[in-house]
Structures are given as structure tokens and as C-alpha cells.
Amino acid sequence: GAVVSQHPSRVICKSGTSVKIECRSLDFQATTMFWYRQFPKKSLMLMATSNEGSKATYEQGVEKDKFLINHASLTLSTLTVTSAHPEDSSFYICSARGRGPHQPQHFGDGTRLSIL
Amino acid sequence: DQQVKQNSPSLSVQEGRISILNCDYTNSMFDYFLWYKKYPAEGPTFLISISSIKDKNEDGRFTVFLNKSAKHLSLHIVPSQPGDSAVYFCAASASRYGGSQGNLIFGKGTKLSVKP
């Protein structure tokens, strides 16, 4: 099946650090990539949608200056958490979808971000 | 307002028997439904999907049933195996409308335990 690779799987860093997470589709062209955040015992919460070559669309309540998204190619999207603080600690997960209708999203394995 | 609901947080089934996972939705514009399986510390894995023009889709041991009038879908796993033990997420989208309405809306998940 389709493979999406997300790195790193775990990050522990000090408050104020910026952290970049990469999401790659390994065997298909991802015209659209999604970034989610999951809180404990909650469902996946969509943060933003990015289409290759265009600006990301952020969901209500998500700070675009805090969570920078770049989708530079059909196989790579990055999420940068800028000046991270403890409240940004969470599980971040990306997904990618190919071209055409009724294409499922394929997910990476997520990144556990811990800000000290 | 939860548009996709999985009312059973957990389900326990004996190996070899049928597992039935249920999902209800409220948005009549949803036309594409998916089931994902998630193990701890991994991203969701796409299992099976169904579009609103069908009422049943089968793939090996997995069958998804869609009842549009009741706004209800279910995932049947038969026979259940211990390796099926995971959290199962139902998701829906209004894919024909594109844009943000094409994004997936997830339920909160049902934890399936298959006992040997």
C-alpha cells in the first residue's frame, strides 16, 4: 500500500526552540497533504491542508505564524513549530492524498513533540 | 458538534467471531467514508472505504456497510484475529464538493480487543 514517511518520530527540546517535521510520500505523488494534531483521548484534529505549490489553508484557531507549513514538491511537506512552548507539546501527524476523487489519505507514523 | 460519532469507545470479541464496529454521521453531504486502524505509536492505516453510491464494500475479512437513510455505517471483521486488536477510526468527507469540505472528519475511535 501507499507509504508516507514522517520524521522525526520523537523530539524533546527546550522552550523557544523551533522544530521542523517532515512528511514524505514515498511511492505516490501527494497533491494534497494534511497536518493533524492529536490530544490525549481525542480524535485527530486537522490543523491545515496544503496543496503543492500553494499556501496552506489553516483551520480556525490554528496560528499560521506559529505553525509554518511548506509543500514544496509533490512528495514533501514540512511543518515547523516556531518558538515552541510546553503547550505545543503534542502528537503531530501528517497525511497525504493523491490526485483524483475518492482517494484515501495515507498517514505517517506521527511525531511526538515534547517541549521542556 | 460532532459530525462523525463512534459511540462505543471499546469492544471485546473472541477470536474467530465477528467484530462489528459502528459509526454514525450527521452531515448529509458526506459522500465518502473510510475506516482506519491504528496501533499505539503508529499512524492510522487505511483499511477500507465506501462511496455513497454503494451500500456495501468487501475486502477480504473486512466489509463496510453503509445505510444512508440512517446515516450509519459499520465495519465487519470476520473472522476476528488477535492481530486485529487496535483502535479503529471511522472518517467521512464531502469529497465531491472539494475544498475544505473534502477534508476528512474523524470519529473518536473504538478500541477493539480480540481475545485468543
User: What's the pLDDT score for residue B98?
Assistant: 59
Count of residues for chain B? Answer: 116
User: What's the pLDDT score for residue B40?
Assistant: 83
Tens digit of each residue's pLDDT (9 = 90 or more) over B4-29: 999 999 999 999 999 999 999 999 99
Q: Is the pLDDT of residue A5 over 90?
A: yes
Sorted by sequence, the CB contacts under 8 Å of residue A63 that are 6+ apart come out as none
B66: closest CA of chain A, how far (Å): 16
Q: Which of A42, A57, A109 sits opposite B43 (nearest CB)?
A: A109
Question: What are the respective helix, strand and coil percentages of chain B, to the nearest 5?
Answer: 10, 50, 40
Q: In whole angstroms, give the CA distance from residue A95 to residue A54.
A: 17
Q: In whole angstroms, give the CA distance from residue B15 to residue B113.
A: 9
Q: Do A106 and B46 touch (CB under 8 A)?
A: yes
Tens digit of each residue's pLDDT (9 = 90 or more) over B43-100: 899 999 999 999 999 999 999 999 999 999 999 999 999 999 999 999 999 876 556 6
User: What's the pLDDT score for residue B59?
Assistant: 96
Query: Looking up cell 496543496, which residue turns up?
Result: A51
Q: Which of B46, B100, B107 sits opposite A49 (nearest CB)?
A: B100
Q: Do B49 and A107 touch (CB under 8 A)?
A: no
Q: Do A109 and B108 touch (CB under 8 A)?
A: no
Q: Give A-chain residues touching B46 at CB under 8 angstroms.
A: 1-2, 104-107
Please choose, from the candidates A29, A36, A46, the residue with its C-alpha nearest in 3D space to the C-alpha of residue A90.
Answer: A36
Tens digit of each residue's pLDDT (9 = 90 or more) over A85-101: 999 999 999 999 888 77
B92: closest CA of chain A, how far (Å): 10
Q: In whole angstroms, give the CA distance from residue A43 to residue A75.
A: 26
User: What's the pLDDT score for residue B15?
Assistant: 97
